[in-house]
Amino acid sequence: MTGAPEKRSRSAASSLAPAPGDHALTVERLSKRFGDRAAFEDVSFEVGYGEVFGFLGPNGAGKTTTVRTLGTLIAPSSGTATVAGIQLTADNGPSIRARISIMPESPGLYLRLTVMENLQCFAGLYELDDVRGRIERALRSVNLLDRAGDPCGSLSKGLRQRVALARALLNDPAVLFLDEPTSGLDPVATREVHDLIGSLRECGVTIFLTTHRLEEAERLCDRVAILSTTLRLIGRPDELRQRLFRRSLDVRVRAPLEDLKVVLGALPEVEGWEQTASGYTLNVSDPDLAAPALARALVAAGADILSIAESRHSLEDVYLELLDEDVEAKRP
């Protein structure tokens, strides 16, 4: 996808232009229960204007319910929130909805209507002004101007997703909720949606993105939250990695070291080690300090070094580690 969203003046939000330090979302101890089952519970976080915020969690974690609650489609059971600077209350629903957009898990388009007719229909429902201009800008943003006359039923899944994104852009949202926007898309269509999210971010749109794709969150999101009914962890992906995993160096040597304890024990930067199939994993306080000292010590001990590299943990490692902990916590 080459079309970048037009630079927007955040017109819908301009009457409520955010002051520096304002948050696009503030959520405090928010819960939603259906009967006696909690969909999500005691959730608190803040999202800054212009941030791309990832909301991760396993099936049934409460992600969609959180989006629907913050999007004013259902009322919370307890707790408070502000959305696009407005207090989340039943009375404020219309003003919040004017400043946000939700792209739901399934595109929800009228398949017999054309792309243009779908967008006209939704622009009418949202009671928007300048319908022609808005539709044209939205279609250009998702690079679909030349498909405007096609019935939505004839479009591929990826193109339908783009139409759904165009629909979500019609009201120039200050906060855009994307509920698993790349679910079921092939790698090319996924890349297109990612590029579009990148362009929207450059235009200053705040994006709340739920996803199962951890590499997607790692690539696109400034910060991520991991939800499993309650909020488990929140921070920048690199922060979360550091919080959950000790820093370490993976060392590969041609042959095992005979006097390992003597060599490694003499290095103050090395806090511990374990043997692996091809060498050693060393716990270190600072890999940049430890690696050169280690290389010198190994060479002095006559070892043939094949590689020394810092262990890289992905967001997926963080996620799986957390959910493993969850499972362990639930064991009797």
**Contact string (CB under 6 A) for ligand ATP, positions 15-34, x = contact:** -------------------x
**313, 290, 295, 319: which is closest to 305 by C-alpha?**
295
Choose the stretch contacting ligand ATP; rule: CB under 6 A; options: 22-30, 54-62, 156-164, 299-307: 54-62
Tokens of 227: 């939800």
Distance of CA 209 to the CA centre of its chain: 5
User: In whole angstroms, what is the distance from residue 237 CA to residue 316 CA?
Assistant: 10
In the complex with Mg ion, the residue whose CB is nearer, 63 or 97, is 63
**34, 71, 80, 83: which is closest to 178 by C-alpha?**
71
Choose the stretch contacting ligand ATP; rule: CB under 6 A; options: 63-71, 163-171, 264-272, 313-321: 63-71
Residue 76 interaction partner, one of Mg ion, ligand ATP, none, beta carbon < 5-8 Å per kind: none
- The residue within the footprint of ligand ATP, chosen from 60, 124, 256, 268 (CB under 6 A), is 60
Binding of ligand ATP by 61 (CB under 6 A): yes
In the complex with ligand ATP, the residue whose CB is nearer, 3 or 93, is 93
Choose the stretch contacting ligand ATP; rule: CB under 6 A; options: 4-12, 59-67, 187-195, 238-246: 59-67
Binding of Mg ion by 69 (CB under 5 A): no
Residue 52 interaction partner, one of Mg ion, ligand ATP, none, beta carbon < 5-8 Å per kind: none
Binding of ligand ATP by 59 (CB under 6 A): yes
CB of 10 to Mg ion, least distance (A): 27
**93, 65, 69: which is closest to 79 by C-alpha?**
69
Binding of Mg ion by 64 (CB under 5 A): yes
Binding of ligand ATP by 256 (CB under 6 A): no
In the complex with ligand ATP, the residue whose CB is nearer, 54 or 279, is 54
In the complex with Mg ion, the residue whose CB is nearer, 56 or 249, is 56
In the complex with Mg ion, the residue whose CB is nearer, 34 or 276, is 34
In the complex with ligand ATP, the residue whose CB is nearer, 31 or 248, is 31
In the complex with ligand ATP, the residue whose CB is nearer, 51 or 179, is 179
Binding of ligand ATP by 64 (CB under 6 A): yes
Residue 5 interaction partner, one of ligand ATP, Mg ion, none, beta carbon < 5-8 Å per kind: none
Binding site for Mg ion (CB under 5 A): 63-64
Binding site for ligand ATP (CB under 6 A): 34, 39, 57, 59-65
